[in-house]
Amino acid sequence: MKKLFVVLMVLVLATSFVFAGGAGESAKKSSVQEVIEQAEKMTFEELAKKAIEESNGQKVYGLGNSSRGKKALPLFIEALQKIDPSYTLEFEWQQPKNNKIFDQLSADSLKESGTFFAVLIQDGNQIESKMVQTGILDTFIPLEWAQANNTTADKYTGYLPLQTLNKVFEYNCVGSKTYDNCWDFVMPGEHGLFMDIDSEVVGKNFLYMLTAPKYSKYLADAFAALSASEKAALQPTVDDLADEAKDFGLDANGKYALAWIKLWVESYNAQTDDGPICNILVDASAKDQFGLLVYSKLRSVQESATVSRNNIKVAAYQDGYKGIGGYGYCHYMFVPDNSAYPWTACAFIAYITEFVDGFEAWGKDIGGYSSNPVLAAENEAKFQHATGGDTAEGGPFPALNDRGYDWWTTEGQLVLEDPEYCASVAFTVGSWIETLTKWSGK
């Protein structure tokens, strides 16, 4: 009996080891992941043929934080019709508000065949914890996008960014007031217009990122450039947060980051959307007001006797400006793990990340930068954003002359979202920010 027991135990352990080892070495791929694995080795034309075969005559539903997907899909259909003139595809594009996209995707993931064929989504912190780790969304890296970035799908790490968008500090310049340092925006009595961080969580990620060493140094250097009287107004807050910064494990400049965050959260004028912020600032009546808002919103301003894009200035573009000019975050493209049309999703994603026509819905405006360097150069050649304000009808409008991604991420000191860093400080810095918002009533 003892021998039999030993034999049985050995068999059980051996079997457990095999199953555990198998799961660790190679977890079973879903059918969508198998499609993606094949698709990452294909050119757009090859993907297009697969998409035609899969979805001809069907209807797809897209989901995104940007509404512009519905402008890109007709162009995608036209591209496939050049390969097969008989191809047809109906579509709808949904844009959830108030951060509900995560709940919508979580609920839809319970279906065997999902509603959405492709997803455009922002907020890297929540994407990682709620969508990727849970297996709800899958990353597809197009072959030609990878080649443009000198990598391959199997070597690339991270999500697929369609574009980086920037939110920048702008101020009404009808009066004589100027803002030449990012600390000016948190001085006593200032109340910047800002989309509430509970309405759009990428704003909270911006605050998280300020505590990263690169960006806290930007703040410390800008603080050092202030006048003695300006420093005196802010120094007590900086000093009060020195111990807090140590407790959070931040570096020596962390106290400057926490001070800026505290002053900003307690003073900003919460708004529901960036569009209204832009409309306020470009009006002559908004003398001496400022905001932190999506740069591209300036595209839709209608010039009049009292409203003009020349009534505002982009703070970072002004000579002598010190410190952060705003922040940047990505729109990422994913394929739902239960997508009913994964080939079509892969073809669509390849189209909008590899071709100027595909990216045009986003690329025609300032403040949105393709993650594909080849496409980014072609897009600038087509739309000439760097000098667009000089030639715009009714202009010139200097604020519209977009200096581009490279300038913004160096001289403009744009604060870029890093999903991993945001996740690492969400419990410490994030919980502290929550107490600030409750205290300030936001």
Please count the structural domains in the chain.
2
Q: Is residue 24 part of a domain?
A: no
Does one domain contain both 432 and 374? no
Give the integer Cα–Cα distance in Å for 78 and 352.
13
pLDDT per residue as tens digits for the range 359-411: 999 999 999 999 999 999 999 999 999 999 999 989 999 999 999 999 999 99
Please give the backbone phi and psi of residue 221, each rounded to the nearest 5 degrees, phi first. Answer: -65, -40
Does one domain contain both 353 and 269? no
Burial state string for 229-248 with b = 16 or more CB within 10 A and e = fewer than 16: eeeeebeebbeebbebbeeb
pLDDT per residue as tens digits for the range 247-299: 999 999 999 999 999 999 999 999 999 999 999 999 999 999 999 999 999 98
Give the integer Cα–Cα distance in Å for 168 and 193.
12
Give the integer Cα–Cα distance in Å for 40 and 404.
29
Does one domain contain both 303 and 406? yes
- The predicted model scores a pTM of 0.89
pLDDT per residue as tens digits for the range 111-133: 999 999 999 999 998 998 899 99
**Domain region containing 223:** 165-327+400-440
Does one domain contain both 378 and 261? no
Last residue of a domain, one of 343, 358, 383: 383
Cis bond upstream, residue 398 (ω within 30): no
Residue among 369, 366, 402, 342 at smallest CA distance from 162? 369
Under the banding of pLDDT at 50, 70 and 90, the label for residue 198 is: confident
Residue among 327, 437, 417 at smallest CA distance from 123? 417
Between residues 258 and 16, the one the model is more confident about: 258
Q: What angle do CA 304, 306, 312 make, to 5 degrees?
A: 100
Q: Is residue 393 part of a domain?
A: no
Q: Is residue 2 part of a domain?
A: no
Q: Which two tokens stand for residue 145?
A: 């996008």
CATH number for 339: 3.40.190.10
> Tokens 């597809």 sit at which residue?
140
Does one domain contain both 300 and 419? yes
